[in-house]
Amino acid sequence: AERNVKLEEKITMLQQQNEELRARIEQNTVITRQLSEENASLQEHVEKEVEEKKKLSRTNEELLWKLQEGDATSPVKLPLSSSTFYRCSSGKSSPAKVRTSRR
């Protein structure tokens, strides 16, 4: 009878531990789900930022090209000199030139 009482106490203790572990698992599941959602949102934001950067880079290239070619709507044309360099967002050479020294 005494052994049964000790075993019942041990069973009760193990059941309590089991419940505590289940609660922790549930908490961790909720946190994992939240972090997953936040991660997906941040990845989406990064992708949008990358696309915006590409768009701005293309626009910059286009404006530089127009500036260099003396676009009819632009009254300014950069003079060709040894202080110019070629730059393109794709890493390839481009007719767009940028003056490296200030006027």
Give 24-66 pLDDT, tens digit per residue.
Answer: 999 999 999 999 999 999 999 999 999 999 999 999 999 999 9
Judged against a pLDDT cut of 60, whether residue 84 lies above it is answered with no
**pLDDT value of position 70:** 82
pTM (2 decimals)? Answer: 0.52
Query: How far apart, in whole angstroms, are the C-alpha atoms of residue 68 and residue 97?
Result: 7
Q: Is pLDDT at 67 greater than 60 in this prediction?
A: yes
- Name the residue with tokens 């050479």: 93
The band of 85, judged by pLDDT with boundaries at 50, 70 and 90, is very low
